[in-house]
A and B are shown apart, each in its own frame.
Chain A
Amino acid sequence: DVKVTQSSRYLVKRTGEKVFLECVQDMDHENMFWYRQDPGLGLRLIYFSYDVKMKEKGDIPEGYSVSREKKERFSLILESASTNQTSMYLCASSRQVGNTEAFFGQGTRLTVV
């Protein structure tokens, strides 16, 4: 059974804290993604990576950075958390070749207070 696992289901952090969201996939997928979901805005792409140590900005990269040191792991970093980063964060992975769906993790509900 394929799996994308996010390290936390729920997180509460203080404004200004550095926050790490971890994601691991066991499918040997090349592509990995970080999205955030907000009511009325759908899923918006923050960053994606198509190879180890490679990263590409998505639609809303400001205030975020990412790290992909190993193929199976993709980390999202909030350098200095702000209240407008309160959101549901979703990690996904997919194969690189051919038409293929992305598999999502269960999501991390982050609240910044």
Chain B
Amino acid sequence: SYVLTQPPSVSVAPGKTARITCGGNNIGSKSVHWYQQKPGQAPVLVIYYDSDRPSGIPERFSGSNSGNTATLTISRVEAGDEADYYCQVWDSSSDLVVFGGGTKLTVL
């Protein structure tokens, strides 16, 4: 089955740029979606179809996808961005939806 690999944790200082990766075999050929989840809350979609941003999501959030790695980039990181982040794809080979294991973003 298709596997998405995320780093368990990423730390960044306020005002800096955070990059959270999502690795998968030829993930560049798939559509990647990203979710933010804060403690005690349901997940929120922050990036869809690799790089599109839902209304209400700050421009500081952006996404890219190429080769074997998709990346969620958060510019000018704020304390309020501290959360768990998950990537998600649909694997056409298995007809299954797959989530990455999640990355905890810590703002130092």
Asked if chains A and B come from one complex, the reply is no
Q: Which B residues form the contact surface with A (CB < 8 A)?
A: none
